[in-house]
Structure 1
């Protein structure tokens, strides 16, 4: 480049150089060089080249910034939030099972009740829903002797746990129980996890 070639418009090569380096300053200087080229007739092509390069750099910068600010439609691993369970369950449609509500234990069948009476090892560790009537009350201990019923069968068991203190003699109940491997006075022991006294 000759100093005399751009003597009347030195902004044209400066604008092009700044546009090559990138940034908005090249756009401003190239725009001023184009305005001066209209008056002087020198450096018009260099000013347009500087404007074009600056526009390309600014477009790339805008898209890069947009990608950094809004990386996509969905959450990323960095957006994960720790959730603490509150124990609250909301049922929107009672026809559809709620995944947060544990399924209720199945009702004990007469064959399982018979196994419980004769060989509790075959049903040990299983959880059932049982119905029956208290033979003793649980006011003094955490054990209640009860007659558990199933269709066509009746077996005496011991209900154990802090909830059984509410059962009185000759009172009906429904309970969720787990069969233990313990027998007391020859009766199988059922650990009570839920109790309903109608």
Structure 2
């Protein structure tokens, strides 16, 4: 789907209040600092450097907004769970995140990226619970799926899908790999339906 290739960097905001008008439709990407979020965004948009990947996880401390068209945006939320961030900063960020999920009218879906080998860590679960509480559909994207052989990958997917039932909300689980684009069509279909793209 070539639609996502037109994504352009629009702005970096230090917090939710500076995100710009709460109009149109947006989908947010969130995940632990080493879950492969930047790589997934670059794969989705077929752009090498749209989202900055770095050797040091936790580099994205700002909220990055990528404009798709006049009414649609992708939001790249800061990676969480990285040890080198002071606790006070983590708390502040968690509050801002909860506020964003609960009050942002234009938010129509949340992609939570998790390493397929370590799904549903505490912060991932907290994030999904907030989203479910705010009636926001969630796509739990199991990244780095190329790290597992096919059989093990299917097994892990089924295990995670079963675990997702506990959230009692609209939570879908899919596998993904930036390396070989595994699961890219599924990701595009989900985003297109949330964003209202034909």
The two structures have a TM-score, normalised by structure 2, of 0.19
Higher relative contact order (CA 8 A, sep 6+): 2
TM-score (norm 1): 0.19
